[in-house]
Amino acid sequence: MTPRGTHRVVIVGAGLGGLRVAEHLRRQRYTGAITLVGDESAEPYDRPPLSKAVLVGTMTDTTLAKDIPSLDLDLRLGTRVETVDTSDRSVVLSNGDRIGYDSLVLAPGAVPRLPAGVGVGGGVHVLRTIADSLGIRAAIADGRRLVVVGAGFIGCEVAASARRAGVDVDLVERLSLPLVQVLGEAGGRRAAELHREHGVRLHLGTGATPVTGPDGVRAVRLDDGTELECRDIVYGIGVTPDVEWLAPSGIALDDGILCDSLGRTSIPGVFAVGDAARWWHPLLGAHRRLEHWMSTTGQAETVAHAITAGDDIAVPTTVPFFWSDQYDVKIQGLGFVDPSDDVRELEVDGKPVLVYSRDNVLRAVVGFSVPTAVLPLRKSIMSGVDVDEVVARLTE
Ligand SMILES: Cc1cc2nc3c(=O)[nH]c(=O)nc-3n(C[C@H](O)[C@H](O)[C@H](O)COP(=O)(O)OP(=O)(O)OC[C@H]3O[C@@H](n4cnc5c(N)ncnc54)[C@H](O)[C@@H]3O)c2cc1C
């Protein structure tokens, strides 16, 4: 039964996951109180455009909800939740307020990593917030050279957007290929070709150290001593779940907030979604954090359902989906992509498709602008079909 009346849900983190939980609660006719607390001052906004349209300069407003008042929220922006007290079911805010909850949803997201001894400022950038994105945009607006360190999705997207904005780009990666850690060798080779074709200078298999002067960054030094002169560096070397502040709460943490497949944490009444949450995935037989937009929205719907319907709901069997836009290519992935799986490289309609399998069972598929090859495979991945059958179908 839908909890009503004096029931209160407190949501920590007013990003994608937090907002979507609130929206799904209202959609599922939850009439109790919802307090949404976010430490950023902006209304909830979308992050994918930050490394794409905002950097290119074709978009500045990525606000997610066009009509926040209709959700009837107790919205606390510019306010951080400092502590969670699970014994009396309350949270304490940075302004000293204590708010009681019946259900608590944690959606604090993640924070970008930086090498030890390196801090943001003086030409050193990371990319997580709208302010970060506008800061990079302003720095590259005059077309000056940009060095991107880390060729994961964020680094590759920044490199692509900067090239589209007419900027001279060097992309430095410690591993042998861009995206190799997420897609494996075959995907990494395709990504390398794509960036070279668009004029990005790749520096692979090397570390990078910022060289600073009195005015901030003046170069990046590679392991062989080469110096790439630049005034700005964007680090895209991964993120850490923003959960340190939860350590005293007693909620089980292990590379994120440990959750079952309904988003329930180790403490009754406390749920978690999004980049900080490490859910149990029945299909994978493991806990995994998924730093993807679609996973966050799916988790938000499940958690809202778990709050409104109690423990009676069925565990949804879902297959993760992600996308990444680089130049005019949309990379789309379905399933638990694991570079250590067997990877077959196909051409479908002249575009690269990577098929991942283990013990001949289909596990995931990644396409470079081939949605018709990727999206219909959801059921095949869920039921674990023979990979030869799928390859035959894709190439017939
Ligand atoms: C630049 C960029 C590009 C991306 N592009 C893609 C893409 O192309 N495709 C894709 O699938 N995914 C993409 N993603 C990933 C996607 O945006 C994330 O998976 C999604 O934003 C996760 O939502 P979240 O709610 O967990 O975290 P967030 O959206 O980060 O929201 C968390 C919020 O909680 C706040 N917070 C943290 N701690 C507290 C606290 N104690 N009290 C109050 N507030 C707190 C944070 O400041 C933040 O505002 C991208 C992400 C970034 C950063």
Between CA 43 and CA 290 the distance in angstroms is 24
For ligand 1, whether the C-beta of 292 sits within 6 Å is: yes
Residue tagged 């001593």 (tokens): 225
**From atom 20 of ligand 1, which residue's Cα is the shortest distance away?**
293
Three-state DSSP class for residue 171: strand
Nearest one of 261, 257, 297 to 277, comparing CA atoms: 257
Q: CA 145, 176, 137: angle at the middle one, nearest 5?
A: 25
Q: What is the 3-state secondary structure (H, E, C) of 74-137?
A: EEEECCCEEEEECCCCEEEECCCCEEECCEEEECCCEEECCCCCCCCECCEECCCCHHHHHHHH
Higher pLDDT pick, 34 / 3: 34
Residue 301's alpha-carbon distances to 245, 263, 280, 283, in angstroms, are 25, 10, 16, 19
Sequence letter at residue 171:
L
User: Residue 248: exposed, middle, or buried by beta-carbon count in 10 A (0-12, 13-18, 19+)?
Assistant: exposed
**Mean pLDDT, residues 55-63 taken together:** 95
Report pLDDT digits (tens) over 272-331.
Answer: 999 999 999 999 999 999 999 999 999 999 999 999 997 778 877 789 999 999 999 999
Instruction: Say how many Å lie between the CA of residue 110 and the centre of ligand 1.
Output: 6
- 100-157 pLDDT, tens digit each: 999 999 999 999 999 999 999 999 999 999 999 999 999 998 878 999 999 999 999 9
Fold observed for domain 328-395: Enolase-like; domain 1 (3.30.390)
What pLDDT sits at residue 3? 56
**Which value does ipTM take for this structure?**
0.99
Residue with the smallest CA separation from ligand 1 atom 17 is 47
Per-residue model confidence as pLDDT tens digits over 229-260: 999 999 999 999 999 999 999 999 999 999 99
Query: Is any ligand 1 atom within 6 A of the Cβ of residue 39?
Result: yes
> Residue 14 Cα, ligand 1 centroid: separation in angstroms?
9
Domains 114-235 and 328-395 share a fold: no
Given ligand 1 and candidates 10, 16, 41, which is best to mutate, with the most ligand atoms within 8 Å of its CB? 16
Per-residue tokens: 190: 């395709």
| C-beta of 47 in contact with ligand 1 (< 6 A) | yes
d(CA 293, CA 359): 29
Centroid of chain to Cα 357 = 24
Q: Which of 49, 41, 21 is nearest to 107 (CA)?
A: 21
Superfamily for the 8-111+239-312 domain: FAD/NAD(P)-binding domain (3.50.50.60)
Q: What is the position in ligand 1's atom list of the atom closest to the CA of 129?
A: 53
CA of 129 to the centre of ligand 1 (A): 8
Specify the pLDDT at position 1.
44
Q: Count the Cβ atoms, other than its own, within 10 Å of residue 168.
A: 16
Among the residue ranges 46-60, 134-148, 154-168, the one predicted with the least confidence is 134-148
- C-alpha closest to that of 143 among 251, 83, 230, 202: 230
Residues 175, 234: Cα–Cα separation, whole Å: 17
Q: Name the one residue in this structure whose structure tokens are 């196909």.
A: 346
CATH of region 114-235: 3.50.50.60
Establish whether residue 12 lines the binding site of ligand 1, counting it when its CB lies within 6 angstroms of any ligand atom: yes
Q: Which of 19, 21, 43, 47 should be mutated for ligand 1, with most atoms under 8 A from CB?
A: 47
Residue-averaged pLDDT of the chain: 95
Percent of the chain with pLDDT over 70: 98
The amino acid at residue 96 is G
CA of 336 relative to ligand 1 center, distance in Å: 20
- Domain layout of the chain by residue ranges: 8-111+239-312, 114-235, 328-395
- Pick from 236, 306, 235: which is nearest to 265 by CA? 306
Q: Which residues are CB-contacts of 354 (< 8 A; sequence separation ≥ 6)? A: 183, 184, 186, 187, 343, 344, 345, 346, 365, 366, 367
Query: Using a 6 Å cutoff on CB, does residue 296 contact ligand 1?
Result: yes
Whether 36 lines ligand 1, by a CB cut-off of 6 Å, is: no
Ligand 1 atom index nearest CA of 275? 26
Mean of the pLDDT values across residues 205-211? 97
Q: From CA 86, how far away is CA 249, in angstroms rounded? A: 7
330 lines ligand 1 (CB under 6 A): no
Q: With a cut of 60, say whether residue 4 has pLDDT above it.
A: no
| Dihedral angle sign, alpha carbons of residues 16, 17, 18, 20 | positive
